[in-house]
Structure 1
Amino acid sequence: MSRQPDEPPVEARADSASEAHSSGPPTLPEDLLLLLFRPEQGVILFRPEQGVIAGETTLFYALAGAVLADLALQGALAAQRTRAASVDVQAVQGKAPSDEILLDAWKYLSDGPRGVQTVLPAIGPTLRQPVLDRLLARGDMRKEKRTVLTFFNTTVLREGHSGRRAGLVKDVRDVLVDGKEPTARTAALAALIWGSGTLHQFDPEIPWNSSVIDRARRLEEGNWGAGATGEAVTRTMTAAIVNNVISATASVSARQ
């Protein structure tokens, strides 16, 4: 999928966000990237193709979807169906988020309605590094020096000592494996993992079987159960965002 000529990436805004380590609670894109991190692989930082992050080639779509979903959960994003059955999103005035990364996207969406399929490639490509920087700053991930072949010094990524990734995996596993009713945030997170096409890579942490797939698909459709707080419009909006992530990811995968 190509970006429309009048929809450039918001690189200038992302540059400022990359320097801002949030002191507030973790954002949804932070949680998503931490979950997609494969700590057992310890990938060399200058060799990202080795796959330290699951779904690396389409990661920016998933992270952008997480930004939009986070804004939706905060009531900072409005959506409407177009005549072509696509979805346009727009920032809700007076609902500017305090987090810098989310604020950059909110400002970008303050100019007027934009199609989700246009927004994802516009805000997504510059998200990986600032989100990764935050995980490192929080101690959720860490860098480790390593010597390869006795004389090559390199740096690998390792899981930090916060224990937060294990907690996130448990939350998603409780929903997808044990059928526990999710919070709205966990529902969105699990739906985004499914939408990114990486859920099967969590096996055996989250077994890849028909019941897990069925539950993930229900979350994708916005069927979060009575326990997931939030208005129906937020569920519908998040479902539309996840479906656009799925479409964008599938389009890229088909070209590879």
Structure 2
Amino acid sequence: MTVTLGEEIMLLTLDDTSGAAKGESSARWGVTGGILLELVMADRVTVTGGRIEAVDPAPTGDALLDGRLERLARWAGKPAGGGRKPSRGRKAADWLTRDHAHGVQDVLDRLCARGLVTEEKHRALGLFPVRRYPEADGSVERELRDRLASVVVHGAEPDARTRALTALLHAAGLHRQAFPDLPKKRVEPRMAAIAEGQWAGDSVREAILTLQTVMTAVTVVTVVTATS
């Protein structure tokens, strides 16, 4: 079974038993960044100078990615600020901000359809509707964690997709979700080295850096809000 980067990040961040997302805010950005990076790696989208452009509308053959590509192409083709003149290359950070809630739900629906998680609905305090996604089939996640451990902990040479996944996890600050039984200081240097290595094309690298920039901004706002 082939799963996308966004699905892999979602599996890593969902608690197997409760179905709640661990580090929910970071998980949302990581999942959305994973979808974007898939489209960049498939040469459907480019990120240049922090701006995003849909350059090839051809379907990838993956329904999740193709649906997102169609939405992104419509959005990127609209002029920023409501002007009449077409705009080429809107800010990638704006897309991530716009899409991160919808992207997560689409990925969760996909994982349910694959039979990897199951959806449970209940009401918190008897009032507020809550959805949880506990594990239904852990085989894909186990393979994923084994692959990450072999690269990050044991120093194996990663393939391109594992490099991309590791870079995304590092950019989104999801070290603990990827390696819950290890201290961050044990895995962060290796993940950073993989993320910063000379393995990706310019557009892939910029997509990852954009996610890092967005996550840093979100973290700063969260800290300021909490302490004010």
* TM-score grouping bracket, smaller chain normalisation: 0.7 to 0.9
Going from structure 1 to structure 2, the CA distance change for 1:141 and 1:174 (only over 3 Å counts) comes to same
Say if 1:97 and 1:106, in contact at 8 Å, map to a contact too. Answer: no
Aligned to 1:77: 45
Deviation, 1:211, is 5.0
Q: 1:238 aligns with which of 204, 215, 222?
A: 204
Deviation, 1:240, is 2.0
Say if 2:43 and 2:56, in contact at 8 Å, map to a contact too. Answer: no
1:124 aligns with 2:100: yes
CA distance in 1, matches of 2:27, 2:179: 19
SS at match of 1:159: coil
CA distance in 2, matches of 1:202, 1:173: 9
Aligned to 1:96: 59
Going from structure 1 to structure 2, the CA distance change for 1:117 and 1:222 (only over 3 Å counts) comes to farther
Deviation, 1:204, is 4.3
Q: 2:157 aligns with which of 181, 189, 201?
A: 181
Gaps of 5+ in 1: 1-23, 44-51, 82-86, 147-153, 225-231
Q: As a proportion of its length, which structure holds more helix?
A: 2
Gaps of 5+ in 2: 78-87, 123-129, 223-228
Deviates more, 1:97-106 or 1:126-135: 97-106
Going from structure 1 to structure 2, the CA distance change for 1:129 and 1:156 (only over 3 Å counts) comes to closer
SS at match of 1:89: strand
Aligned to 2:82: none
Q: 2:136 aligns with which of 128, 138, 160?
A: 160
CA distance in 1, matches of 2:184, 2:23: 19
Deviation, 1:162, is 4.7
Aligned to 2:219: 253
CA distance in 1, matches of 2:12, 2:106: 16
Going from structure 1 to structure 2, the CA distance change for 1:213 and 1:156 (only over 3 Å counts) comes to closer
Residue identity (%): 25
SS at match of 1:130: helix
RMSD of aligned Cα (Å): 2.7
Write the mapping of 1:124-143 to structure 2, written as runs, cut at 5 A.
124-143=100-119
Q: TM-score, normalised by structure 2?
A: 0.76
The list of structure 1 runs, each at least 4 consecutive aligned residues, that deviate by more than 3 angstroms after superposition, is: 143-146, 154-157, 201-205
Q: TM-score, normalised by structure 1?
A: 0.69
